[in-house]
Amino acid sequence: MTKKYVLFWLLPIVLLIALYPIVTDNFLVRENIFLMLSYIVFASSMNIIMGYTGYVSFGHIVFYGIGSYVGILLINNLHVHFVIAVLCAALVAGVIALLIGEAVLRLRGAIFAIATIGINEAVKSLVANVDSLGGAVGIFMDFSVYDSYGGPDKALWIAYYAMVILTVLTILVSYFVRNSKLGLGLLAIREDEDTALVVGINTKRFKSIAYFLSAIFPAMAGTIFAFKSGNIVPDDAFHIVKSVEMIFINVFGGLGTVSGPVLGAIIYEKLKDYLLTNPTLKDLHLAVSGVTLLLIVIFAPSGIVGWFRERFKVVRGVLE
């Protein structure tokens, strides 16, 4: 049932949301939707390694940072076209994920999570201390680069369209992984990795593929962000809070589901926007998010999607 219906409502909702700022030509709405779409990309990609495989990566933002730097260097310094830069960032991040995975994917549980934090902080420190990468100040785009894209204003829309396409692509990959032999293998690893190995699943290869897929989408989003903002700074590119947000969205929406990260991202962006613009709560948005996560873990450990599926059988065929 899930294979037949979940995308029939999920993708139209995402596309309708993405269409709204295009129809209204409202740049403020566009910025909010752009951020919402990026959350969907981050959460859905992390869900492949965290939700399907059971490996919690607190340092997953490292791939976003790598993609940001690869993209801005190619676009700004080598004058590579934006689309090519996005694809190159994905390739570089994917290769690095495979190399890192050879070491960290041998670890499990809290040790794996701590190792990913260490990798993120190590890469952040390395980038911040390399002068050719801008050091701690970062890299600023030469605005003449935007001339070939019709100017900065059109470049903003190009970045928006690219994020829309990337969001749809991420959801589709998450869906097809979930409903494939690879997905079944990853779910078996999540439930009991030792048993999965005994029954003949190549756990090392499956985990490497999942880690690779979960890395390329944040990297592409990183290049899109760098192109859009015109600069990149180590503290922002490798900010550990962004990884925590990915985890929050997945747990909130429903780990191991296709729709959970999407619904979680939409709700989280609206919640965060309300908290940050509320004079009373603007300094407490992280605390409110933490309390919300605690309540979800206590009263709905399977997230929003899991809560509805457990109580309303009628939605099981379309909500997964």
Q: Regarding predicted confidence, which is higher, 88 or 2?
A: 88
Q: Tell me if 110 is assigned to some domain.
A: yes
What pLDDT, on the 0 to 100 scale, is given for residue 2? Answer: 41
Residue 164's contacts (CB-CB under 8 Å, 6 or more residues apart) are 15, 18, 37
Give 3-state DSSP helix, strand, coil % of the chain, rounded to 5. Answer: 80, 0, 20
Q: Tell me if 1 is assigned to some domain.
A: no
Looking at 151-165, 233-247, 292-306, which range is the least confident one? 292-306
Q: Tell me if 136 is assigned to some domain.
A: yes
Q: What CATH number did the domain enclosing 179 receive?
A: 1.10.3470
What pLDDT, on the 0 to 100 scale, is given for residue 1? Answer: 38
Residue 148's contacts (CB-CB under 8 Å, 6 or more residues apart) are none
What pLDDT, on the 0 to 100 scale, is given for residue 4? Answer: 58
Give the CA dihedral 60, 61, 64, 70, nearest 10 degrees.
-90
Residue 110, pLDDT > 80, answer yes
Q: Tell me if 191 is assigned to some domain.
A: yes
Mean of pLDDT values over 98-113:
93
Q: Tell me if 67 is assigned to some domain.
A: yes
Residue 292, pLDDT > 90, answer no
Mean pLDDT of the chain: 92
Q: Tell me if 197 is assigned to some domain.
A: yes
What pLDDT, on the 0 to 100 scale, is given for residue 280? Answer: 76
Total domain count for the chain?
1
What backbone torsions phi and psi does residue 291 show, to the nearest 5 degrees? -65, -40
What pLDDT, on the 0 to 100 scale, is given for residue 190? Answer: 95
User: CB count, 10 Å around CB of 132?
Assistant: 8
CB burial readout 20-55, b (16+ within 10 A) else e: ebeeeeeeeebeebbebbbbbbbbbbbbbbbbbbbb
Mean of pLDDT values over 261-284:
85
Place of tokens 């600069």: 231
Residue 217 Cα distances to 40, 87, 204, 256, angstroms: 11, 10, 21, 17
* Structural domain containing residue 171: 6-317
Mean of pLDDT values over 201-228:
97
Mean of pLDDT values over 86-107:
96
Looking at 84-93, 96-105, 254-263, 265-274, which range is the least confident one? 265-274
Q: Tell me if 29 is assigned to some domain.
A: yes
DSSP annotation string for 237-261? HT-HHHHHHHHHHHHHH-TT-SHHH
